[in-house]
Chain A
Amino acid sequence: MQTELIKNLLLFGPEVTIVAFLVALFILDATFPKSRGSYLGFAIVLMASLCGIWITCQLGSQPETPFFSGMVIHDGFGRFFRYLFFVTVAAASWVAFQSKEVDSKSRTEFALLILCVLFGMNLMAISTHLLMLYLAIETVSIVSFAMAGFKREDLRSNEAALKYLVFGAFSSGIMLYGISLIYGLTGSMQYTEIATYLAANSAQTSVPLTVALLMIFSGFAYKISAFPFHFWTPDVYEGAPTPVVAFFSVAPKAAGFAALIRFIFEVLSVHGTAGNWQLLHPPTLTILSGLAVATMVVGNFSALWQTNVKRIMAYSSIAHVGYMLMGLVTFSYTGLSAILFYLVVYAAMNLGAFWVISLVADCRGGEDLKDFGGTGWTMPVAGACMAVFLFSLTGLPFFSGFIGKFLLFGALVQTPGLLWLALIGVLNSVVSLYYYMQILRSMYFDSSDNPVQVVATRAQIVGIVLLAIPTILFGLYFTPVIQFVERSLTGF
């Protein structure tokens, strides 16, 4: 029994590390209150990430094992997301520690919060039990509310936190109700047990099950900000501090996708012949394709009329969720690996874009399109990188965003009967060009009457360039990433 527990704890190593560093930071902060303005918090986050990555690496040799009585699982898929979260959390903390929006007196607080979210996200990616999943989602959400309201004196930031909270409570309530329905229908909340029950019983498309799934999906939709649970996104993004938004738009979204993918592929499907899955609840695909189309269209078209860059990016992030949902509709390995690839490149380009926005917001005190006027000429390197990020988000070749779309649309074209979805998808990416170019237009074509020159510090330039490099590199040569993604998916 004891050895069992130790073995389980070992598999839980990355998360244990996070908690250990969290506690350490807490104690350090209490002991040395003067350290609050220093880079101590960042150092701890960085160390936690590095240790976490190292331990995740060490666990790579372990076979796929459910542990903690089947509440969570250790597998390649979970490992992939752990890596992703560790890296994005470290990067996002660096953005935050460079920004004026995160009050220098409460930097340690920020580090504490982001470590909590990191813990929750890791759990989301590995949980195989609906209750565990719910707890993980709540861990992420509740701490996120605090992060959204990080600028305590700022009204908009408070509004953002409150909106986030109300929406979060609402949708997680619905999700919980869906979970209880599932439990009532199948007698279990453990993924494999539900799947076994569904496979054995013919009433797969019964109305109650569909209702229960719709409710659970609404919880996921909130987390990844998919239509119709996306309404919080623009308001929260506009109000919350930019570095926090940079983080929100990347990591918790990826965690939501991790949980959603695991739910669909482990609860609603069983392994069929020839390495493919058999879907146990066929209407799911219809629901997902509807969600994908609605999310893309709403995201892209709403962004067209925005004048605040953070709102533009909020709608753009909604649109990107729509693209990624298309990959789920294919219900295939190629679709899945396309989504994972997309999440990686999306993390780099979106963090980068938000970093430049944070830079402008720090200097000019706002992030409207007019605040960006002429900034491309005063910060040549960061400006060029912003162009790279935006082109990549549009999905133009040479940049990793194109490869992401290339793989996604490739998976769609490959699947019979989904060409229509691909067509809608590509037309949407044309629409997206317009609003991304609004930002570039402002940066390069317009001149500004704002006397404040936006200049990037050296540390910021280095960071932004570090994010631009993978954005270009993976656009030109992406074989290693694809291989990594495919390795993570073996046995899934």
Chain B
Amino acid sequence: MLSLMTFIPLVGMVIVFAIPRTQTTLIRWVSVLATFLPLLIGIKLYMDFDRTTSAMQFVERVPWISQFNIEYYVGIDGLSFPMILLTVLLSFLCIFASWGIDKGVKAYHAMFLFLEVGMLGVFSALDFFLFFVFWEVMLLPMYFLIGIWGGKNKVYAAIKFFLYTLFGSVLMLLVMLAMYFYSEPHTFDLLTLANLHPFSGKLIELFGYQLPLDKLFWVGLFIGFAIKVPIWPFHTWLPWAHVEAPTAVSVILAGVLLKMGTYGILRMNFPILPEATLWAANAMMILGVINILYGAFCALAQTDLKKLVAYSSVSHMGYVLLGMASLTTAGMNGAVLQMFNHGTSTAMLFLMVGILYERAHHRWITKPDGSRGFGGIASVVPFYTAIMGIAVFASLGLPGLSGFISEALVFLGAFSKPEYQTYVVIGALGIVLGAAYLLWMFMRVFLGPLNEEYQSLADMNLREKLYMAPLCFIVIYLGIFPMPVLDLMGASLAKLLSIFP
């Protein structure tokens, strides 16, 4: 089932390649189908998923390269499954959001489908080698998607994204190799590594120093994942990539790719290197707080709508970090739920900004020359304003919408540890700042007297309403009743926590 889900988009890509490039409508509908089938499988898996066990489910295991014990080994648990659901959902919706692409339609959709293969692969891989392959494979389509279909500074944004991520990955590659050769028996199997913890107490020589193996591994992996999250100070690629990318790609970047970083930390650093995790928990907490505040302050200063949303992601991923580092049940559940919720709410924000950009061809709240950008457009596009309102409030964590529950859980978890209370108090400022930059943006763009330039701005069309509807529904539903997602991950997170004293 999992392989089918992962590779249907690949089949779709091959078919898209076979279609002549002038048949754009056909290409689009093939892509719709190639992303819809994984979504259906995702729903089927959701119904079959056993919520009581922490074991891997729907496991598929085939030897791949026997010399190195490399296997094609996939499976999902409560940690990866929410991310898979998020991926299949957003990929499907993004095809509709890409309807406006008119240059290189064929190549665009082929790349997009390839990207989905990589994302699903990362979340389902249980073999480190396989994980790494999927992790890197994602970069290739991403580079082209940003570089070809991006905005004005696309070339710079694309190479910056690529270089940063590759820098992280090569560190991961070294850790992967070292884990293989320093474990006995040599293995890339993530679950075996997590059961054995073979690295504690060993030393390794680097530049003439004897360093503890597990801490070195932890740091190497963490940098690799931190770049993806992105955790300050590795975040500088994000505003460029998110802003320059076409709408659908920004959605995938913010909605799915950022979660891979935190997912990786939870999948590898925590279970395989628990002692080093305890050693680093405090540092993660501090980084989380920095992320929250830094992202929020940067967002506050933006005059470009998309950049504001991009920096809000930095801030929101800080909450995830805070929850993870607390190592408490509430904190962890909050963190994973926040990963899911941020995926949906930030996707909404990016999609909405994209819709506005398609009509107005700019995104300025205040134009660079100081004049007024958008203003008072609520009276022209009431429906758009309403949806944007939902997205904004979900993102800033208004009770009753999804963001509130995950943020509350995160703070609850972190606050229950006395040593972290100071951080929580400082971090909670992020909520206030979040409300500030989002509401201030909302006020400047939608409220107040109408800027006459936008007198004839068109409201959302049916296609746009249709692809926003599922996200609105999820954001509201999970705000009232988060159990459908919390249920999925409970058992797995409990097991993950059980290894920490």
Q: A: which residues have CB within 8 A of B?
A: 377, 387, 391, 394, 396-398, 402, 405-406, 409-410, 413-414, 416-417, 419-420, 422-423, 426-427, 429-430, 433-434, 437, 441, 444-445, 477-479, 482
Contact = CB atoms under 8 A, between A and B. Distances in A.
- Interface of A: prevailing SS: helix
Contacts of B143: 437
B155 A445 contact: yes
B205 A479 contact: no
Interface in B155-170: 155, 158-159, 162-163, 166-167, 170
Contacts of A445: 147-148, 154-155, 158
Given A398-B137, A413-B181, A406 B159 contact: no
Contacts of A406: 173, 177
Contact of B166 (A419, A420, A433): A433
A410 B158 CA distance: 30
B67 A426 contact: no
B432 interface: no
A416 B205 contact: yes
A433 B161 CA distance: 12
A397 B137 contact: yes
A479 B174 contact: no
Given A426-B171, A427-B170, A441-B155, 14 more contacts: A398-B140, A410-B177, A417-B205, A420-B206, A420-B207, A422-B177, A423-B174, A426-B173, A430-B167, A437-B159, A437-B162, A444-B144, A445-B148, A479-B65
Contacts of B162: 433, 437
B46 interface: no
Contacts of A414: 181
Contact of B65 (A397, A423, A429, A478): A478
B132 interface: yes
11 contacts: A377-B104, A394-B166, A409-B177, A416-B205, A417-B205, A419-B206, A423-B174, A426-B174, A429-B170, A430-B167, A441-B158
Contacts of B158: 441, 445
Count chain B CB atoms within 10 A of each CB in A410, A413, A479 and give the residue with the most: A413
Contacts of B181: 410, 413-414
Contacts of A441: 147, 155, 158-159
Interface of B: 64-67, 104, 132-133, 136-137, 139-140, 143-144, 147-148, 154-155, 158-159, 162-163, 166-167, 170-171, 173-174, 177-178, 180-181, 204-207
B227 to A, nearest CB: 11
Contact of A409 (B65, B144, B163, B173): B173
B177 A413 contact: yes
A444 B149 CA distance: 11
A238 B207 CA distance: 38
A159 to B, nearest CB: 33
Nearest to A410: B177
B174 A422 contact: yes
A419 B206 CA distance: 6
Contacts of B139: 396
A419 B139 CA distance: 26
A398 B177 contact: no
B133 A444 contact: no
A455 to B, nearest CB: 16
Contacts of A416: 205
B174 A409 contact: yes
Contacts of B67: 479, 482
B205 A444 contact: no
A418 to B, nearest CB: 9
A102 B495 CA distance: 67
B358 to A, nearest CB: 22
A332 to B, nearest CB: 12
A427 B66 CA distance: 28
Contacts of B170: 426-427, 429-430
Contacts of B180: 410
A16 B475 CA distance: 77
